[in-house]
Amino acid sequence: MFNNLPKLPSLLSLSILLNSLAVSGAESKLVLTCGTGDKGKDADGREWVPDTNYFISSSSTPSTASFQDPSLPSEIPYMTARIFTAEATYTLKATASKRYWIRLHFYPATYGTLDSNDAYFDVMANGVQLLKNFSASETARALTQAYIVKEYSLALASTGVINMTFTPSKEHQGSYAFVNGIELIAIPDLFTSAQTVGFKDQPVDVKSASLQTMYRLNVGGQFIAPTNDSVLRTWYDDTPYLYGANAGIATMKNTSEKIDYDESFVDIAPLDVYSTARSMGFDGNLNKNYNLTWQFQVDANFTYILRLHFCDYLAERVNQRVFNIYINNQTAQTGADVIGWATLSLVPVYKDYAIYVSDRAGDDVLTLALHPTVDAGQPPEFYDAVLNGLEIFKMSGPMGSLAGPNPQPSEMLLKAEADAAADANKQANGFSKASSNIDVIGGAAGGAAAFGVMAAICISVYMRKRRARGVDSYTTSWLPISSGFSHTTGSKSHTSANSHLSSEAQGLSRRFSLIEIKQATKNFDESNVIGIGGFGKVYKGVIDKTTKVAIKRSNPQSEQGVNEFQTEVEMLSKLRHKHLVSLIGYCEEDNEMCLVYDYMARGTMREHIYKGNNPQLSWKQRLEICIGAARGLHYLHTGARYTIIHRDVKTTNILIDENWVAKVSDFGLSKTGPNMDKDHVSTVVKGSFGYLDPEYFRRQQLTEKSDVYSFGVVLFEALCARPALNPNLPKEQVSLADWAQHCHRKGTLEAIIDPNIKGKINPECLKKFADTAQKCLLDSGIERPSMGDVLWNLEFALQLQESADGSTRSTRERTSDFDEISLEDNKNIRLHISNLSLGSEHELSQELEDRNSPDIFSQIANPKGR
């Protein structure tokens, strides 16, 4: 297929030629976007310049990706690539004897006629093999990421030039190489030597080693964007890597205290890293009995450097908080005393340890564990341990190679993909099957890319296997976002030993006995089942002789449900609003957990728009349902004592009661959000594909504007009567959010409006509605309207519609519109209260730790629950 491309002239002559015209003067920062002649800015506002002056070879072709994955952080540098069909070299001028971060960005996509699955290649830089037989598409698939970032740091080059050679693999037919972005960032000497674990007095020389960054975590803290790091590093949240039942607690320094952070530390790590930490908890006796543990997937046969960042802002004296550090079950350090090292409280310090990971079975992981030192002559004052930041680097082997094998997708990922495909097929064939049967996999969905998220997936799977808990099924999968399917992404988290509800929650909701529940559901008779979700089955029932209710029963085998149960009760018992589904009570007895809700006679919003055998709703009825749901969300965001972010807004979570009042349901994923100093919550990405805010996905920062985005998708769903994701459509139409925006921009929105209502919408009303929906979907959260603005605009749109209809009927008359459809018409209505992904264990208390403000949140959840 490449025969028609120009043959490569003598590489050497060309390279000499170009070398002389290339850059004059070394750069301390070179940020190249490949395969384009234009410079541009990325989402962070960083400028990328074209690579045209830096590569040497005529066998390269600039190319543009045919599809923009929604999880890409920005078009630049990912949408253009330079393609090499033969060996080719970039010559980058560098300062002699200086260390650089080299970052390579890859977005595996279709470039022209080239299939991303055909790209297998090697990358060499000054004699160091960075990548061998690398397949960006295989890697992206296994890690469920849309794009891959690799970061290296080469040993000091004495020549002052970095030659980076891309070579397509000779073994794979039709292979080619490509790259989307290259960064070269000068850094000071960050490395010296590291202590070898298990061998005293055998330091490893890191100063002259070539390194690859594997992980970089702001432990107990949140995502730090490159723009907030002096040498443009990205720091990720550590929670996906926590291993074991006890995850300790995240802490933050007292804001009125100041860390002794001077110039010399600026390039080591940003101040934020030292301002947050994870410690074991306040109960010393508990701490004595567990290890605070993180686990990471790595390639075997390499030496790894672990850099641990510390800053103790709680202890003040030596021997207050002393602990041991274990790496892969070996003792790396006994009696670690941060104050002892740093001499004072609030002084940052870091320690480097080296360990070789061999290729024995089950050995391709790195485990870091902290445990209080209990056997010292003079025991410490507190049995506790602390860690603020962690970086893991791979050291080049004896042959100067840093390359590992392409990661393989886990069996669970493969199974989930197969199930989802089967599910999509069934749905396409007209079966409407509850899509809740896919096995839980958990783990961070990886659009956030880069080494930080890498292997979170493998690790989570690993953890789940290890725990061998009866992991319940819920609507989850780890499909890459681009491949569609509306499933909820889940994430790992921690198990709590026991669950109890706060006394306030208990006081606010009614406690049912198991006998009452059994009476209400005829002993959980199958004929009463109205839905199946991750939590278990949902039954309809009657309590107090006449009150119809829906009862969610947790699967007795599932430990996972416990925390979702807790979250829902704690949240819902305090929230009362006309447009929120109300919780009547709960039952917690004999290992049975049940939640009792108001019965939502008319099922989900989706069923009334395009799924199910229901009569089609008129435009005005749809508008009214949207307005109801918007009111519910607006209340969540602003009306409650704390901002609450729903996190899983979608048409199956908007339920409709017999009076056609729309109610928002499913708070299992909800987070109490910002209403204090910070304006976002950092978290592992959750929610449902098709509705996920791309900004949240990229940055793992959650704000109420993520709900606004999802609601924008709901609005277009109401207008177009199609699912948020439909994998059976041509690629550009799969995602409703993308397609509707595209049509709106092009002025062709008319064409995709539900034929049942087309022509019956007042044009002004349509314009108002579509503009509002489109603004909800804006890329940047701060540009999106608030839920209050959305509500106002929708109400205005309704007025436009009504005045066009010539009707000025009252609200009550309006609702009678609905009564034309009688309940008996739709026998198929099912309650989807259960449809919520019962995503995670222990979310709420985790949130408490994240926010580190137990006093503020204690009314919402009981921190003892951990």
Ligand X SMILES: *[C@@H]1O[C@H](CO)[C@@H](O)[C@H](O)[C@H]1NC(C)=O
Contact residues for ligand X, defined by CB under 6 A = 15, 19, 91, 120, 126, 133, 135, 138, 159, 161, 163, 171, 225, 228, 254, 256-257, 289-291, 300-301, 326, 328-329, 359, 362-363, 367, 369, 371, 406
Residue carrying the six token digits 């004059």 = 24
Return the number of other C-beta atoms located less than 10 Å from residue 88's C-beta: 25
Measured CA to CA, the distance from residue 454 to residue 297 in angstroms comes to 8
User: What are the helix (H) ranges across 667-761?
Assistant: 694-699, 704-720, 731-734, 736-746
Tell the smallest beta-carbon distance from residue 311 to ligand X (Å).
16
Active site residue 648: yes
The residues, ordered by sequence, that sit 6+ positions from 650 with a Cβ below 8 Å of its Cβ are 486, 688, 690, 691, 710, 713, 714, 724
Nearer to ligand X, 384 or 568 (CB): 384
Q: Kindly report the length of the chain.
A: 866
| Closest to ligand X by CB, 24 or 810 | 24
Annotated binding site for ATP: 552
Q: Which residues are annotated as a binding site?
A: 552
89 with 55: CB under 8 angstroms? yes
**Helices marked H in 165-299:** 263-266, 271-275, 284-288
Q: For the residues of 534-575, what is the DSSP string, one character each?
A: SS-EEEEEEETTTEEEEEEE--TT-STHHHHHHHHHHHHTT-
Of 598, 648, 738, 754, which is the active-site residue? 648
| All residues at 6 or more sequence positions from 335 whose CB lies less than 8 Å from its CB, including other chains | 322, 323, 324, 373, 376
Min dist CB 410 to ligand X, Å, is: 15
Contact (Cβ atoms closer than 8 angstroms) between residue 135 and residue 406 = yes
Closer CB to ligand X, 161 or 376, in the complex = 161
Task: Specify the residue, 287 or 618, whose C-beta has the smaller distance to ligand X.
Answer: 287
> Cα torsion for 483, 120, 64, 45, to the nearest 10°?
80
Cis peptide before 854 (omega within 30 of 0): no
- Shortest reach from residue 70's CB to ligand X, in Å: 21
Nearer to ligand X, 291 or 410 (CB): 291
Evaluate whether 142 touches 409 at the Cβ level (below 8 Å): yes
CA-to-CA distance for 375 and 500, rounded, in angstroms? 34
In angstroms, what CA-CA distances link 670 with 240, 274, 394, 568, 714?
Answer: 18, 28, 38, 8, 18
**Amino acid letter, residue 118:** D
Which of residues 409 and 603 has its CB atom nearest to ligand X in the complex?
409
Cβ proximity to ligand X: between 290 and 350 the closer is: 290
Element (H, E) at 598: strand 592-598
CB of 107 to ligand X, least distance (A): 19
List all residues 6 or more positions away from 306 whose beta carbon is below 8 Å from its beta carbon: 327, 332, 352, 353, 354, 355, 366, 368, 390, 391, 392
Specify the amino acid at residue 76. I
Beta carbons of 104 and 76 less than 8 angstroms apart: no
Instruction: Rank residues 395 and 532 by Cβ distance to ligand X and give the closer one.
Output: 395
Give CA–CA dist 305/214, Å, rounded. 10
Nearest of 277, 264, 102 to residue 190 by alpha carbon? 264
| Distance in Å, CB of 367 to ligand X, minimum | 6
Would you put residue 239 in left (φ > 0), alpha (ψ -120 to 50) or beta? Answer: alpha
Name the helix (H) or strand (E) containing 851: helix 843-851
Task: Compare residues 262 and 855 and give the one whose CB is closer to ligand X.
Answer: 855
- Burial zone of 415 (CB within 10 Å; 0-12 exposed, 13-18 middle, 19+ buried): middle
- As given in the structure block, the two tokens for residue 824 are 């008996």
User: Least distance (Å) from ligand X to the CB of residue 202?
Assistant: 20
At closest approach, how far in Å is the CB of 3 from ligand X? Answer: 24
Handedness of CA 438, 440, 445, 451 (dihedral sign): negative
SS3 517: helix
Rounded to a whole number of angstroms, the minimum distance from the CB of residue 173 to ligand X is: 12
**Bridging pattern class, strands 349-357 and 193-196:** parallel
What amino acid occupies position 625? I
Nearer to ligand X, 228 or 799 (CB): 228
Whole-number minimum distance, CB 815 to ligand X, in Å?
Answer: 45
Q: What are residue 529's DSSP bridge partners? A: 539
Whether 563 contacts 579, CB under 8 Å: no
Q: Judged by CB, which is closer to ligand X: 361, or 503?
A: 361
Cβ proximity of 703 and 683 under 8 Å:
no
Least Å distance, CB 222 to ligand X, is 8
Q: Name the one residue in this structure whose structure tokens are 């070898």.
A: 196
Give 251 or 563: the residue with its C-beta nearer to ligand X: 251
Structure token digits, residue 59: 């066998």
Q: How far is the CB of 218 from ligand X (least distance, A)?
A: 10
The closest of 293, 370, 295, 287 to 335, measured between CA atoms, is 370
Give the nearest distance from C-beta 47 to ligand X in angstroms: 18
The token pair at 820 is 């034309």
H runs (alpha helix) in 468-618: 503-508, 514-520, 561-572, 605-609
Provide the annotated active-site residues.
648
